[in-house]
Amino acid sequence: MIENLLIKRTVDAIGHLYGQNIEEKLVSVQKTRREFEGDLTIVVFPFLRLSKKGPEQTANDLGQFLVENLTEVSKFNVIKGFLNLVISDKYWLDFYKDSYTQPDFGIIKESDQNPVVVEYSSPNTNKPLHLGHIRNNLLGYSVAKIVEANGKPVARVNLVNDRGIHICKSMLAWKKWGNNETPESSGMKGDHLVGKYYVLFDMHYKAEINELVENGMDEELAEKEASLLMEAQEMLVKWEEQNPEVRQMWETMNGWVYKGFDETYTRLGVEFDKIYYESETYLLGRELVFEGLKKGVFYKKEDGSVWCDLSGDGLEEKLLLRADGTSVYMTQDLGTAQLRKNEYNPDKLIYVVGNEQNYHFDVLKKVLKKLGREWSDDMLHLSYGMVELPHGRMKSREGKVVDADDLMEEMYQTAKKTTEELGKVDEFDEKEKDQLFNMISMGALKYFMLKVDPKKTMLFNPEESIDFNGNTGPFIQYTHARIRSLFRKADEKGISITEGAQPAELLPKEKTLIKLLHDFPVIIEEAGAGFSPALVANYVYDLAREFNQFYQEVPILREEDHSVISFRLQLSGFVGNVLKTAMDLLGIDVPERM
């Protein structure tokens, strides 16, 4: 790439001009600001101590050297300490000629190395997936695809939290008030049905607390001693003791949930290479806790609970096993981490989990270090901000959530209404319409979620996400369809394409498009290094927007010169290919027509 070449030649220039050897990392190459002439800019301030000259003179020395020694640099200008370089048309055309026919342009072939394990989704089996899970799944799935695009093997994994006190709450509520209701008898998806009883438990639990408080009990004590909570805790102990009745109810209700999850994952378009279950991994976690006790890095309190003292690491004491012997989240996370190390020996283990769990993962890594697991340094918590709504945060215990299934259906109906009003499907049959509405609705949802930096909290507004003219998924999808339409029109007019046709001189809009296409491999590399789909999302929007300006201002099929028509069609096809590849990295499909 031209940036790497400029860095190397700048190092050569400093040696030749000033007799000084410098490292490549000292050379900063940036895109030239729009208000100045140039394609790339070199910042010369770090070289002033070597040149012992002012910034303008140093930049002029360096610019003159590069023009004389690099055919890729046609001219330069200096703005204070910034050297703006104009890259020759020949370089851009040579790049275009070498790249436009590559179907996998920007993608690196998978190398033979240890995989990167990416964990995402991680739902609880006491409620359906909601809006927060959507961001988690889309982020994890896209990160996995971007890591793969950088040539690294990936294992996509999901840890289902299928045991614990929260699961027992929904089970107890169903046992008390369910009257043997099933998904079939109720007509509800299984995960929705179980979620209904989780909410029902919370409603009865709060009512009991209020009654205890009214009778004179302290509220904090009432929360601990409410009979419903005590029953749920007893059920958890029975579960860990393999009580047949409790285990049978647990397997039945979890089975309902898994079927419901699978339907949601299919519609969302995400998948996994392996699914782990907390009910299986917590046992290995318990073994690690006992190992820590034996080594003396954990300790047991008088009540029988097991702890790890992390005060020396700037953290707090951490509970690892309760006094009744039951496990906590940390127990199963220890076991899951060890299991993945044993199975994959990963180059990196990435956990896609919300930022409310930052402290949990700090503790997890420290506890593993106490156990002598040095590979914990290869664990990364990909922390992301929560999804907020115009009317506030979600509370699943109270049923105040945006359900993932309901949201996807709402997006579908909005896409259908908007598309039909614009008359974009007048010639489609019903099956084609359904496929397009699904594609647009999911493209709108995914793009809106992924265009925001993962670390930032985001406000989701469904109405804003479906717009064929803004920074949205449908706008990019429509751009791809527009490009495919160009080729259909060319075919209808009997226009044949001359392969490899190139103009004598690039128009500004043509050059801008080629420069953007040139950036694509670097964008993939940067997105992989930072685990940020937002970089890809914002890039693909810029490319789509630039193409639409090109389409409006530069004649393509109306051009008289056949070789120019061929070049502009092929350039458009190159753009369409990159749009499709970039959107695929976001988990988004693009239509052939709309």
Residue 92: its pLDDT value, please? 95
Mean pLDDT of 117-132: 94
Per-residue confidence at 56, pLDDT binned at 50, 70, 90?
A: very high
Per-residue confidence at 432, pLDDT binned at 50, 70, 90?
A: very high
- pLDDT for 314-325, tens place per residue? 999 999 999 988
Supply the DSSP string of 246-272, one letter for each residue: HHHHHHHHHHHHHHHHHHHHHHHT---
% the chain with pLDDT above 70: 98
Residue 112: its pLDDT value, please? 87
Residue 399 has pLDDT above 50, yes or no: no
Residue 200 has pLDDT above 60, yes or no: yes
Residues near 349 by beta carbon (within 8 Å), at least 6 away in sequence: 116, 117, 119, 337, 340, 341, 378, 379, 380
Mean pLDDT of 336-358: 95
Distance, in Å, from the CA atom of 475 to the CA atom of 590, rounded to the nearest integer, reads 10
Residue 391: its pLDDT value, please? 59
Closest CA to 149 of 111, 96, 97: 111
Domains defined for the chain, CATH in brackets: 2-87 (3.30.1360.70), 120-398 (3.40.50.620), 404-585 (1.10.730.10)
Per-residue confidence at 62, pLDDT binned at 50, 70, 90?
A: very high
Residue 370: its pLDDT value, please? 96
Residue 34: its pLDDT value, please? 87
Residue 324: its pLDDT value, please? 86
The per-residue pLDDT of the chain, averaged, comes to 93
Beta carbons of 520 and 539 less than 8 angstroms apart: yes
Least confident of 341-345, 441-445, 496-500: 496-500
Positive or negative, the CA dihedral 528, 532, 533, 538 is negative
Residue 1: its pLDDT value, please? 81
Alpha helices in 451-561 (DSSP H): 462-465, 473-492, 508-530, 533-553
Residue 397 has pLDDT above 80, yes or no: no
% the chain with pLDDT above 90: 84
Per-residue confidence at 27, pLDDT binned at 50, 70, 90?
A: very high
Residue 423: its pLDDT value, please? 79
Mean pLDDT of 348-376: 96
Least confident of 138-147, 349-358, 491-500: 491-500
Closest CA to 280 of 238, 231, 361, 339: 339
Mean pLDDT of 91-112: 93
Name the more confident of 522 and 418.
522
Report strand pairing: 154-160 vs 274-277.
parallel
Residue 400: its pLDDT value, please? 55
Residue 211: its pLDDT value, please? 94
Beta carbons of 87 and 94 less than 8 angstroms apart: no
- pLDDT for 526-573, tens place per residue? 999 999 999 999 999 999 999 999 999 999 999 989 999 999 999 999
Residue 458 has pLDDT above 70, yes or no: yes
Mean pLDDT of 272-299: 94
Distance, in Å, from the CA atom of 428 to the CA atom of 142, rounded to the nearest integer, reads 30
Per-residue confidence at 583, pLDDT binned at 50, 70, 90?
A: very high
Chain position carrying tokens 């992390």: 310
Residue 193: its pLDDT value, please? 97
Residue 13 is encoded by which pair of tokens? 């220039």
What is the pTM for the complete model shown? 0.91
155: three-class secondary structure by DSSP: strand
Per-residue confidence at 390, pLDDT binned at 50, 70, 90?
A: low
